[in-house]
Amino acid sequence: MKRFFKTLYRGIKKNPLNSAINLFGLTLGFSCIITITIWIQNELSYDTFHENSDKIYRVHRYFYNPDGSENLHLPNVAPPVAPMLEKELKEIEYIARTKSASFTFIRDNKLTRESEVCFAEPELLEIFNFVGLPIDDNLLEEPLTMIISDEQALKYFNRLDVIGEVISFYTRDGQKQDLKIVGVFNKWNQNSLFHPEFLISFITFESFAGEEEMNSWGSNNYETFALIPHLPSDIDAQLDNIIDEYLEDGTSWTKIRIEALTDIHFNWHSNKTYIYVLASISLLILIIGSINYLNLNLAMYSRRLEEIKVRKIMGASPKKLISQLVGESVLFCLSALFLAAGIVYLFIPEFNHILGSPLQFVLTDNFPMIAGFILLTILTGVVSVLYPAIVLSAFNPISTRSNEGLSFGKNSFRTGLVIFQFFVSIALITSFLIVYKQLSYIQHKELGLQKENIIVIPTTPQLVEKLDVFRQELTSNPNILSVSGSKRVPSDGLWDNNGAEVESDGNVRTIDFRLPNVRVDEHFLSTYGVPLIAGRNFDETDGDYSGYLINEQAARQIGWESAEEAIGQVISYGGQRANVIGVISDFHYESLHVPISPIILYKDPSSFNRVSIRVSPFERQQTIELIEKTWQQYNIPNYSFYYEFVEDNYNRLYRSEQNIKIILTYFMVIAISIAVLGLIALSLFMIQRRVKEIGVRKVNGANTSELMVMLNKDFVKWVIIAFAFATPLAWYAMSSWLENFAYKTQLSWWIFGLAGVLALGVALLTVSLQSWRAASRNPVEALRYE
């Protein structure tokens, strides 16, 4: 063993540059593998910590056009769905409705706004894991009771024994209510689709919402979970039969489906394809790092012929030589793994900051991952050196001259390895450029509205009643340009569809497409800069439902040939009959992942839950403070104020794409860095084998430039071959990725050309330095011993 480490040390000391390049390349490769493994592990961990995670399902709902095409898919369902399924589907053990909310809680005259509040039925405690609750079958069955997490108990009371304590809140109509704490549970610190900190009894919500809301099939605002130990194989057919029993011809326009709890993250918030893509890329980076390792080892082993000849003459068996060389390689790779683990450990906090992710690099409780990394490292070490080790152990020490070198097979093998490195590098460069171009397209595409410098704040019934006075007071300040009330704001989803009919020449025609609504006031168009292209806007004299605005897309799909033709037409929407008074330009209310939807706008101030305020870009903080101060005057005393920017909300719609861009950037830089190391490795190896040829050519009159062309032309050829293979693959992959967007950039030819030029430039810059050094050497040095 002592001799083993001594031999390894001497090899590193004799070839410090090669050893450093090897170590650096392998460390980068292992760093990528570790980081992506942690990320994948995090992605796959959502909601798996629940004891019955594989038996928990969420109910969701589809809506269909008359032609059978899907027009809306909602993750929530209407209130009657849960009681219906509990009665009709015997396989359900527990089912529970929830309703997320935001509250401003009051404790000791201190106001705290909480966003992780949820009304929940008692059965939810049986479906999910709530550790720490008292053994009581009556939790969440009484009005105005709630359970809270241990973290919130410490936050509000500085202790955990808080059962029986009270936290108060104000309802929207200004009434103060007390909530009695009946249990404390251990906070969910693992990944979950929702993070309840306060669970209020659902019967409390029912008393606020009323019987009409609880019986409504149109209010799809309730997240519903079911525990089904044995899922029927014909569950979809059973659900369709149930819907048709409760709704006449129900499945022709709506369907209920269930999805596994552990699938929700990928179905709604992420993309499983990214796991396969990033895992493949990180593995490819490790492979090209291993290729460097192999190429450099070939060069280094040619210099170790004398040592190996002596060892063989002294009686070392081929098996012992192979064990020595493989052992050195595995130990070297393990050193790279440990260095990579240290780098990842230091880098993970920065990675989390950049991506907004909760990744943790904890090895102490993750033995399978540790074992996997070690096995992968050993495999890398063995595979990278096994072939040259076998060749070295089998050569004849008597007939082989030390200065002849040793053949490790055809040059095409090493050539193929380098081409593969460039193939990966060009594909990554191309992908990065296309992702960057698409995100730039998204950021700069005209949305049909002005999203910059708009602040959104919440409303209350008190504020809605005095919205005009509130608007006048705010706009008296020169930094506040416009104020508008609405239900929802651009960047939110378009969910509501109340059913519409068009009346023309005494005939009534049902609109056969989804027509979502946006409820706004007369200042919405000016606040968001949406152009009116025909007719008029709402004005102060218009009452609720006194007229409709529609966008161009709605006018086209209804069948009107122009915006002017739509003016004066009669639409009955949700049973409310009124004329079309104006047509507005199409604008992107939602993300660019989906096409522009037809929409209808009408006045309904009682439903307003947001106020949009266009402000000057100057003195922004002072303006926000003024808005808050004014807002408090028109609301319940000390009611919690918060705000958000519409532009930030739009940017959040593309968070996953931004993360992919960041990860691809790092991967591209790493792949190019490793490719450069590979070029250095191969150029050193090739030039070493051609030293005599270079010397002879120089003696016969060849100049430096001719020799550099000779040494570089092979690398140029290899980059061109790699480009030819990488381009169609990158084109196909990125075309598929762009299909996720309804509006996308073009796959311009210059992107692929630029990737090839960048790869060729890197190759020439790297190899030319080695070529120049070899071509400018004194030929006597190469020929003195001939």
CB of 583 within 8 A of CB of 566? yes
Q: Is residue 23 part of a domain?
A: yes
Model confidence at 42: pLDDT above 70: yes
Q: Which residue has the tokens 């009695």?
A: 180
Backbone angles phi, psi at 626, to 5 degrees: -65, -45
Final residue belonging to a domain, choices 612, 638, 664: 638
Same domain, 471 and 620: yes
Same domain, 508 and 629: yes
% of the chain with per-residue pLDDT over 90: 34
Q: Is residue 543 part of a domain?
A: yes
> Residue 402: its pLDDT value, please?
47
Same domain, 395 and 486: no
Handedness of CA 355, 357, 362, 366 (dihedral sign): negative
**What's the whole-number average pLDDT of the chain?**
83
Same domain, 510 and 591: yes
CB of 23 within 8 A of CB of 336? yes
> How many C-beta neighbours within 10 Å does residue 782 have?
19
Model confidence at 182: pLDDT above 90: yes
For residue range 285-315, list pLDDT tens digits in order. Answer: 888 888 777 777 766 665 566 666 666 666 5
Nearest in space to 682 (alpha carbons), one of 766, 624, 621: 766
Nearest in space to 533 (alpha carbons), one of 516, 556, 500: 556
Determine the Cα–Cα distance for residues 331 and 523; give it in Å rounded to an integer. 71
Determine the Cα–Cα distance for residues 224 and 83; give it in Å rounded to an integer. 11
Query: Hey, what's the torsion of the CAs at 454, 456, 462, 468, to 10 degrees?
Result: 10
Bridge partners, residue 222, by sequence: 77
% of the chain with per-residue pLDDT over 70: 84
Model confidence at 257: pLDDT above 90: yes
Bridge partners, residue 98, by sequence: 120, 223
And the tokens for 188?
């969910």
CB of 359 within 8 A of CB of 39? yes
Q: Is residue 237 part of a domain?
A: no
Model confidence at 509: pLDDT above 60: yes
Distance of CA 264 to the CA centre of its chain: 14
For residue range 554-580, list pLDDT tens digits in order. Answer: 999 999 989 999 999 999 998 888 999
Residue 212: exposure state from Cβ atoms within 10 A (0-12, 13-18, ≥19): exposed
Same domain, 322 and 398: yes
Determine the Cα–Cα distance for residues 608 and 605; give it in Å rounded to an integer. 5
Q: Number of folded domains in the chain?
A: 4
Label residue 368 by pLDDT band (50, 70, 90).
confident
Label residue 785 by pLDDT band (50, 70, 90).
very low
Same domain, 536 and 514: yes
> How many C-beta neighbours within 10 Å does residue 511 have?
22
Final residue belonging to a domain, choices 583, 603, 638: 638
8-state DSSP, 230:
S
Least confident of 399-408, 504-513, 643-652: 399-408
Model confidence at 484: pLDDT above 90: yes
**Alpha helices per DSSP H over 645-690:** 646-652, 655-689
Same domain, 624 and 502: yes
SS (H, E, C) 447-476: CCCCCCCEEEEECCHHHHHCHHHHHHHHHC
> Residue 653: its pLDDT value, please?
85
Model confidence at 1: pLDDT above 60: no
- Sequence length of the chain is 786
Determine the Cα–Cα distance for residues 241 and 667; give it in Å rounded to an integer. 51
Same domain, 488 and 614: yes
- Residues 6 or more apart in contact with residue 79 via CB below 8 angstroms: 97, 213, 214, 215, 216, 219, 222
Q: Is residue 617 part of a domain?
A: yes
pLDDT, mean of residues 488-504? 84
> Residue 763: its pLDDT value, please?
79
Does residue 745 sit in helix, strand or coil?
coil
**676-679: long-range contacts (C-beta < 8 A, 24 or more apart)?**
676/762, 676/766, 677/21, 677/24, 677/25, 677/292, 678/25, 678/288, 678/291, 678/292, 678/295, 678/417, 678/418, 678/421, 679/418, 679/715, 679/762, 679/763, 679/766, 679/767
Does 411 or 623 have the greater pLDDT score? 623
> Residue 405: its pLDDT value, please?
47
Same domain, 223 and 276: no
Q: DSSP per residue over 551-563, as a string?
A: EHHHHHHHT-SSH
8-state DSSP, 163:
T
- Residues 6 or more apart in contact with residue 123 via CB below 8 angstroms: 94, 95, 96
And the tokens for 700?
């016969």
> Residue 304: its pLDDT value, please?
60
pLDDT, mean of residues 103-116? 84
Determine the Cα–Cα distance for residues 467 and 479; give it in Å rounded to an integer. 19
Least confident of 16-30, 73-87, 670-684, 744-758: 670-684
Final residue belonging to a domain, choices 638, 672, 696: 638
pTM of the model: 0.80
Q: Which residue has the tokens 């089912």?
A: 95
Least confident of 194-208, 385-399, 519-533: 385-399
Distance of CA 481 to the CA centre of its chain: 35
Same domain, 468 and 319: no
> Residue 451: its pLDDT value, please?
92
Same domain, 619 and 703: no
Nearest in space to 59 (alpha carbons), one of 216, 201, 228: 228
And the tokens for 780?
């006597």
Nearest in space to 206 (alpha carbons), one of 194, 216, 198, 196: 216
Does residue 576 sit in helix, strand or coil?
strand
Determine the Cα–Cα distance for residues 338 and 332; give it in Å rounded to an integer. 10
> Residue 765: its pLDDT value, please?
79
CB of 221 within 8 A of CB of 166? no
Model confidence at 671: pLDDT above 90: no
One-letter amino acid identity for 517?
N
CB of 329 within 8 A of CB of 388? no
Burial 140-150 (b: 16+ CB within 10 A, else e): beeeebbbbbb
Q: Is residue 242 part of a domain?
A: no
Nearest in space to 519 (alpha carbons), one of 461, 585, 600: 600
Model confidence at 519: pLDDT above 90: yes
SS (H, E, C) 402-424: HHHCCCCCCHHHHHHHHHHHHHH
Residue 647: exposure state from Cβ atoms within 10 A (0-12, 13-18, ≥19): middle
Is the backbone of residue 619 left (phi > 0), alpha (psi -120 to 50) or beta?
Answer: left
Same domain, 284 and 365: yes
> Residue 526: its pLDDT value, please?
94
Q: Is residue 689 part of a domain?
A: yes
For residue range 676-722, list pLDDT tens digits in order. Answer: 777 776 676 666 666 666 666 666 666 767 767 776 787 788 889 98
pLDDT, mean of residues 146-161? 93
> How many C-beta neighbours within 10 Å does residue 135 have?
5
Determine the Cα–Cα distance for residues 694 and 777; give it in Å rounded to an integer. 9
> Residue 202: its pLDDT value, please?
95
Quote the domain boundaries for residue 747: 416-445+653-786
CB of 80 within 8 A of CB of 250? no
> How many C-beta neighbours within 10 Å does residue 245 have?
11
Q: How far is CA 245 from CA 62, 85, 87, 249, in A?
A: 17, 12, 12, 8
pLDDT, mean of residues 487-510? 84
Q: Is residue 576 part of a domain?
A: yes
User: Within the chain, what is the greatest distance between any pair of CA atoms?
Assistant: 108
Q: Is residue 453 part of a domain?
A: no
For residue range 413-434, list pLDDT tens digits in order. Answer: 667 777 888 888 888 888 888 8
8-state DSSP, 484:
E
